[in-house]
């Protein structure tokens, strides 16, 4: 009897439709003796190892805050069976055929590397596809491998799959495994100290009072509201909060969520980290469907819309993009210039009420169904506006930490001038910072901001570079920089 095709997983979304195309004519079917084993049979065989067992989903109706387990070091190990991958081989078949449609031909080892599946599993799948007359051996390699390319039937099948979904890349990670990874990598597991805080803000001049108020907010993992005049470093403070945790996390390249492919890793948002772990045996190999990154800091400013907080499908490719809060999980999500977004502030606030209380979020899939997803970033609102004009009492209660970032005093301002002059290579004569404050701040009643020393000294350095001379902060240089920087202000 001819070998049966792998039985597809039931799908309920349009992103990828796993169905068996028209059967190969009986004359071209391989004999049972030489047929490759069905990947679905492999998937069903053998007990699931506990190395990367999927975690149960969060119950949508579960009251209270999700209870996190004891701290552990999450490290995704390479699955050695199809069952351990948590992914139906038919989905990987689709990716392989689209991959070969794009590259033409490739060795089995390189296919396994690019699609991030263990070489033995990939070899098994490739030989199965060859037995189904979808692939053929183009040549052999010196290490006992083969170069594969598509047959005419395989090319037609790949084009059909491409019309359904254009995704080519690392095999997706099941959503349950992702939920487990977020729980184990949560920043709430870290017991931060004052030294951690000082190290994170070592390149900023912040008074002890401000740091003492920021510290408990970070330790709690709760939301933080930074407010104050523009130019005092609210955005810089928010962006440095993630540094307090000082380590890396693992995120999947792509998720498989109830029939939808959702891209999580974003090179524009995430900073890939170097992996220095060298496995000694096959059992110690890491799962390449995941990538190691620095704990993320995702910043959204005036461009933020409510659509960016939902799963965003591409109708042309049927590939979805993860929302900002998923990309920021286990890190920091900064809503900068809050109150100046396209969407009304109240709508944005209402979107966060449930996630802030329950540490979970409801996301809508492209087909209209909703899923429960972990919500585990530190949420920071930063604004120049009066919080009382933006936030009602009910929402303020859900943000327990509200920190005012105030103007520097004269001593702090002089320290900043000296620090920035040293960094920018500007010669600072004795008494120069005090002269700047006396003539251009106190005399004009101009408020001092933390950003002014850097910006004014940069003007002096640029002017000196243009005139091909050494930069010196003379009274005349300050006058020119102030006139250019403040203008009619």
pLDDT of 3 reads: 40
Please state which of the ranges 50-59, 210-219, 395-404, 461-470 shows the lowest mean pLDDT.
50-59
Provide the b/e sequence for 350-381 (b: ≥16 CB within 10 Å): eebeebbebbbbebebbeeeebbbbbbbbbbb
Confidence of residue 400 (pLDDT cuts 50, 70, 90): confident
Question: Model pTM?
Answer: 0.77
CA atoms of 449 and 455, how far apart (whole Å): 10
For residues 155 and 117, the answer to whether their CB atoms sit within 8 Å is: no
For residues 399 and 224, the answer to whether their CB atoms sit within 8 Å is: yes
Confidence of residue 280 (pLDDT cuts 50, 70, 90): low
pLDDT of 281 reads: 66
Average pLDDT over every residue of 279-292:
82
Please state which of the ranges 41-50, 158-167, 461-470, 476-485 shows the lowest mean pLDDT.
41-50
Tell me the per-residue pLDDT of 104-153, one tens digit each, with 9 for 90 and over.
Answer: 999 999 999 999 999 999 999 999 999 999 999 999 887 889 999 999 99
Structure letter (DSSP) for residue 489: -
In 3D, which of 362, 358, 160, 179 has the Cα closest to residue 256?
A: 179
Confidence of residue 279 (pLDDT cuts 50, 70, 90): low
For residues 40 and 6, the answer to whether their CB atoms sit within 8 Å is: yes
Tell me the per-residue pLDDT of 197-215, one tens digit each, with 9 for 90 and over.
Answer: 888 888 787 777 788 888 8
For residues 82 and 39, the answer to whether their CB atoms sit within 8 Å is: yes
* Per-residue H/E/C for 326-352: HHCCCCEEEECCCCCCCCCHHHHHHHH
In 3D, which of 419, 378, 382, 379 has the Cα closest to residue 206?
A: 419
In 3D, which of 168, 377, 196, 183 has the Cα closest to residue 270?
A: 377
CA atoms of 421 and 456, how far apart (whole Å): 10
pLDDT of 46 reads: 33
The β-bridge partners of 77 are: 286
Average pLDDT over every residue of 378-405:
80
Please state which of the ranges 138-147, 170-179, 438-447, 460-469 shows the lowest mean pLDDT.
138-147
Confidence of residue 222 (pLDDT cuts 50, 70, 90): confident
Beta-sheet strands, E only, within 155-276: 173-174, 224-227, 248-252, 254-257, 260-263
CA atoms of 345 and 391, how far apart (whole Å): 8
For residues 389 and 404, the answer to whether their CB atoms sit within 8 Å is: no
Give me the domains of the chain, ranges plus CATH numbers.
1-41+70-170 (1.10.10.10), 177-404 (3.40.50.300), 410-486 (1.10.8)
- Token readout for 378 is 């530190």
């Amino acid at each position: 009897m001819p070998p049966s095709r792998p039985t597809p997983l039931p799908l309920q979304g349009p992103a990828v439709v796993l169905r068996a195309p028209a059967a190969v004519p009986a004359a071209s079917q391989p004999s049972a003796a030489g047929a490759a084993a069905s990947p679905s049979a492999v998937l069903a065989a053998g007990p699931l190892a506990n190395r990367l067992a999927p975690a149960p989903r969060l119950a949508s109706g579960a009251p209270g805050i999700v209870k996190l387990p004891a701290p552990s070091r999450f490290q995704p190990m390479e699955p050695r069976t199809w069952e351990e991958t948590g992914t139906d081989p038919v989905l990987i078949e689709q990716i392989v055929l689209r991959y070969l449609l794009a590259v033409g031909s490739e060795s089995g080892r390189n296919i396994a590397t690019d699609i991030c599946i263990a070489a033995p599993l990939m070899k098994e799948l490739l030989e199965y596809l060859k037995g189904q007359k979808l692939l053929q051996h183009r040549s052999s390699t010196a290490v006992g491998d083969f170069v594969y390319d598509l047959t005419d039937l395989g090319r037609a099948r790949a084009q059909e799959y491409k019309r359904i979904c254009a995704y080519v890349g690392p095999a997706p990670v099941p959503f349950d495994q992702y939920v487990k990874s977020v729980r184990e990598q949560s920043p709430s597991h870290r017991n931060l100290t004052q030294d951690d805080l000082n190290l994170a803000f070592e390149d900023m001049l912040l008074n002890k009072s401000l740091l003492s108020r920021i510290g408990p907010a970070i330790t709690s993992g709760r939301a933080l509201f930074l407010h104050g005049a523009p130019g005092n470093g609210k955005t810089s403070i928010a962006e440095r909060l993630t540094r307090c945790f000082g380590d890396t996390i693992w995120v999947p390249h792509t998720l498989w969520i109830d029939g939808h492919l959702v891209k999580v890793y974003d090179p524009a948002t995430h900073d890939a980290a170097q992996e220095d772990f060298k496995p000694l045996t096959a059992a110690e190999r890491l799962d390449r469907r995941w990538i190691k990154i620095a704990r993320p800091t995702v910043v959204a400013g005036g461009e933020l819309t409510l659509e960016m907080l939902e799963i965003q499908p591409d109708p042309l490719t049927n590939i979805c993009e993860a929302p900002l809060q998923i990309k920021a999980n286990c890190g920091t999500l900064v809503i900068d210039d809050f109150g100046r977004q396209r969407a009304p502030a109240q709508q944005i606030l209402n979107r966060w009420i449930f996630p802030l209380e329950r540490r979970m979020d409801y996301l809508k899939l492209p087909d209209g169904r909703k899923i429960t997803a972990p919500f585990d970033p530190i949420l920071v609102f930063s604004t120049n506006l009066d919080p009382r004009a933006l936030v009602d009492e009910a929402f303020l209660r859900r943000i327990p930490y509200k920190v005012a970032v105030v103007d520097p005093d004269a001593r702090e301002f002089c320290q900043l001038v000296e620090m920035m002059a040293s960094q920018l290579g500007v010669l600072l004569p004795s008494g120069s910072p005090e002269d700047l404050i006396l003539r251009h701040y106190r005399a004009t009643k101009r408020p001092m901001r933390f950003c002014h020393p850097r910006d004014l000294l940069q003007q002096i350095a640029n002017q000196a570079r243009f005139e091909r001379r050494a930069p010196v902060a003379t009274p005349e240089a300050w006058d020119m920089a102030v006139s250019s920087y403040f203008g009619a202000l």
